Chain A
Amino acid sequence: MQKIMVCIKRVVDYNVRIRVKPDGSGVMLDGVKMSVNPFDEIALEEALRIKERGSNIEVVAVSIGVAETQQQLRTALAMGADRAILVQTDVAVEPLTAARTFLAVANKENPDLILLGKQAIDDDANQTGQMLAAIWERPQATYASKIEISAGCACVTREVDAGLETIEVDLPAVVTVDLRLNEPRYVKLPDIMKAKKKPLDVTSLDALGVSSAAQHKTVKTEPPAQRQKGVLVKDVAELALVLKNKGLI
């Protein structure tokens, strides 16, 4: 294991309350706090732990996005990534385009392992890792809650609907991570200072030969239907009665 590539997305912070624009053209993003996608943060933390257990492993953080995405890559560098690459674009790329972009970077970097979140908390697509693995013609292990690296392969425990499943994949491979893989470290101030000196290269989709053309068009964005507020009952007896009358118990 010599190199781990971690894909990172800049997204609206987990704690921000999302509001839809009145004209239905999207959600309000002006002045909203942006962060590293929490699942990608877990992916980076895992890469750093593998690096700390091994020797001479380089961790490269890669992102696609607007110029300000450098902020999230600086956070990744402060956490401990060795260097970062920003594929700068003002276009919101589809997961397939993101996968093609990461593939182009992977073809230059030749990582042994690519780690990323199972989904981004903005579009909730849950596609990029699987698509990247497909076009890279390499194994995928999605929804990882445990990753064990041994010679030439990774043993990955996956969170699936029925419980936990373990698969073994040859390296290089793509692993997408789930919530319970680890708890990401806090960034300390000296690390933020150090991160400013770490290399952050900026490239473009054009330079990588990737088209940003989209296959899907979002024609409308709406707030979800709201549930009506219900009634409060005063005690257990009334609760049991209401449930019985509704035929629920």
Chain B
Amino acid sequence: MRESKRFALLDDRPINKDAFVHEWPEAGLIVSDGPDDPKPSLRVEDGRVMEMDGVPREEMDMIDRFIADHALDLSVAQQAMSTPSEAIARMLVDINVSREEVSRLVAGCTAAKLVEIVGHMSVLEMMMGLGKMRVRRTPANQAHVTNRKENPALLAADAAEAALRGFAENETTVGVARYAPLNALSILVGSQVGRGGVLTQCAVEEGVNLRLGFKGLTSYAETLSVYGTEGAFVDGDDTPWSKAFLASAYASRGVKIRFTSGTGSEALMGHSEGRSMLYLEARCLLVTRGAGSQGVQNGSISCVALPESLPGGVRVILAENLLASMLNLEVASGNDALASHSDMRKTAKLMCQFIPGTDFVHSGFSAVPRYDNMFGGGCFDVTEYDDYNVIQRDMKIDAGLHPISEEEALTIRERAARAIQAVYKGLDFPSITEEEIEAAVTAMDSRDMPDRNVAEDLEAADAFLAGDRTVLDAIRALDEGGFPEVAERLLELTRQRVLGDYLQPSAIFDANFGVLSGINDPNDYRGPGTGYRLEGERWDKVRDIPQAKSPAGYLEGQGENPVERLKELGPAAKGDAPEVVIAVGPAFGKELTQTINGLPHDQVLEQVMTGIAEEGLSARLVKVHHSADCAFIGYAGAQLSGSGVSIGMQSRGTTVIHRADLAPLNNLELFSHSPNLTLESFREIGRNAARYAKGESVEPVPVKVDNWVRLRLIVKTMLLHRRECEEVDPDRPPTELWFDWEPDV
């Protein structure tokens, strides 16, 4: 068979390393509209759900029972279930219907009804719905902070930088489970160095996780996984009741929680029961609500590649996020685990959450290099910070981050590494060396870090977890170790546990520990001009990327030393000799003195004149004042030229070879890619112009085509042209120039 070179190239593209599969509903390989998905139904008798989505009460499994008895608001259930799903879908995108009105009605919907509602919606409509239904008005973001060596100095430094970059929550986990208390402590201290009020957690086994919370080493937990079938739930070693109890247990210690769910987990665990992924996720979300979790981490999370292997997968992941927000749940909306080999595909998917904004756009943006991400995550990582900040600036969207300078990063990293060093010293943990501090400040990843004695670290970790010491001992160590302001931030975080304000829906803290939640910062989007808008100081922070230069910087060096050998004589006359006229723009050699790629104007003139002389003709120099346009400069020169041939040059270097009988915008040769022109090109341009003047047949000067140049230099092009235009005098005819130089031919 013949082989297409283009198809061969496509085969090698990153997108084709992703897995794609046809649907197979019986195995759960279908994202929505499964043939066996139940139809919505609800029968309530005496305030008790007797039948839900076609299942009578006596046949309900534990998930149905939990939903029926805890998740539904029966006072609106009848109204909700009898409202056509399409009508509720329309309410979601109708700016005249408030968020509260929708969520009040949705509270009475069963899982099948919820799925039917979003089934009517396109991705665009769902994004509109998500922007309106998000619980917190102000969007935010969450980071992953981990490393393979579980090095405390690096964890603290990365947590601090993440906090400084704007993440409102930092999450760590472990490679070796016993490291949990040390890792939790390292990112707690590091985060508070970076910015007061950043919430932290350490994702480990539930029992250990709760102990970390008891000790005050974590301020939130999102390890509470729930599943949409009984089989998967029990395989996860929990039930809705045990998870709900856990939620209360955390709240009883002043620790914020959110549940975790996501499409694909049941199918992956072999327990899909032949139902579509979205239907099962709707059940998860009702369990989450019923259990009294304030929020959920969903959007497929670690299973993301599974729905994305199927048609409609990315749409359904957005539908999950929307359903959660409709149910009044805080949403940390995925974009964490690796979702695609293709940058284009993963970014396209990200836009579903990034554009509407969610409570946490990522439930783990990797604030460490992908290599060190211990969550199996890193769909987006530190290497993409600048891309991210630029996209926020492009779209005027706040996805929770902002740019920082290298100096700020290095300073905060060192401070965090030294703070955790002080804590380790105060708690008699194995010491953190100066070498580790130095490495942590500038490291790419944990391969740059010295090895620690793992056995000693783990002994310290075990003793810390089992013993009586708590966050108070760490606070004392910070205070005594010369970090009183960090100690105060940790102490304020513990005071906040006593207040419990941040247990409310979608709560985060600002830098002054002011709480922002669905109670005091409720999303009030009601169409254009309402809701969260990126403006004021926050917009200044987002738009001021360090890469952006001052416009004046682009003109640096221009016009400082006008070409002294260039003298302006009187008005230019029409010539009659066999000459080539070199017509230059109004700022040439004076207000502007270099071409766009830095060639000095006098050297450019020398080369052009040498080229003309090599062909035995003389050159005459004129300055055009009435136009800054290359074609008209060349045209004006041609009218004055004895041979009729001219070279027209803008000050930035854009050049044309013109002839008197041609229309102004026509030409013999045009060199529009001025940044690609070298001194040698200018010499060849001179030579060719002379050959045209002699009536010879001419091979055009070869030019390098590099389309990226325009992209890189467009701002400079524009500013140079603007400067030239400032010198235009529409009424002034061309003047003769004298260039004090003779070609050596």
Does B associate with A? no
Which A residues are within 8 Å of any B CB, using their own CB? none
User: Which residues of chain B have a CB within 8 Å of any CB of chain A?
Assistant: none
